[in-house]
Chains A and B, each alone.
Chain A
């Protein structure tokens, strides 16, 4: 347990050392997009999405700074490193969701735009699920292949998800309207699916990462 906490702390310092300008851009873009589109909820959605991509930066720093050697030297099990990274990413996701929510509410207040609890729940639950999906799709690959070689492939599941989503909405629009009607009746299910779905995705992805990383030579 102690080493998992140490791994979380190490990941914090690794992410902190990454390109700070990129972090600022990532924080500002959702804000500008939300204000310009006059849709404050876009701030929350975009913040979660861009952060989902940005978390892979940990692996970019590891590659650039030879940190794989560090992981070969310090007394930490590979399993603990993987668990630590997923927990750190989950905690970061929760923090970003909280910050995004606050910014969204402030923007809505300033622009005098009302947000229904249903719309808010749908965006928050959906964007958190998307964030966890992005992490789950990218991390197993990043644990075994250098970031510079795998970054392009790691985003493929996300692109595939969008294509499949667009296809289904166009082909079967009734599914979309039925889903909206269903969740309007059972709004609490948005939270249940968002949180449980996100944790399930992360859990499966983490198990795959542990299995792959244990066989990976540093």
Chain B
């Protein structure tokens, strides 16, 4: 089985926080929940994967390629959804596409407009006029319009209502249904993952404390009924 993401011994040093020897694999065609409390190091890991920040040591491979040396090639196949939009607030939904489609060799305008329609996004509304749920859907529409093989979501559900969260999970299920697309879903809301994740990686205070299948995780903690309870149990053990 090939891996969409391979991270080995990844470290990042800050004055007040360190990411320590992070290692995990995301197999192709699978959905991984990347779980941890706020400040555990999830966003730092995502930013390192995207080469937005420089690593202190370790290696990151996406589709078997180094994330720094082959950054441009890799990013053609990677789509990202953050907790808040990264489009100019005054752009209309239609302008978002015009501004960024040129960067992607496999951008599909028809697909973008189909998603905009399916997600009920008003094409002439400005980004700043959209609700949080709509902003998230706009990022998803952009993310899924260039045939990306890997979708990375960093806390996409924080601040959005349960209905929009359920809609997101349906969209993700459809997206990954062909078995070729992989999803790394970073969140502290573990109920989202119970429904869709195949694999779970748990990060706590900058270290990975578990990585493997969701079913193995639940077997290791037979007395815990949910991932949320497992997280609590793990943090109590560490204390």
Interface residues of A (CB under 8 A from B): 2-3, 5-6, 9-10, 13-14, 17-18, 61, 64-70, 72-77, 217-218
Contact = CB atoms under 8 A, between A and B. Distances in A.
Given A14-B88, A74-B103, 11 more contacts: A9-B102, A17-B90, A65-B85, A65-B89, A70-B86, A72-B52, A73-B79, A73-B86, A217-B52, A218-B47, A218-B53
Interface string B51-86: 111100000000000000001111110111010111
Contact of B88 (A5, A13, A72): A13
Contacts, number: 79
A6 B47 contact: no
Contacts of A18: 90
Contacts of A61: 88
B103 A64 contact: no
Interface of B: 47, 50-54, 71-76, 78-80, 82, 84-91, 95, 98-100, 102-104, 127
Contacts of A13: 88, 91, 95, 98-99
B47 A72 contact: yes
B75 A73 contact: yes
A17 B89 contact: yes
Contacts of B86: 65-70, 73
Given A10-B99, A74-B75, A217 B53 contact: yes
A73 B72 CA distance: 10
A129 B189 CA distance: 55
Nearest to B72: A75
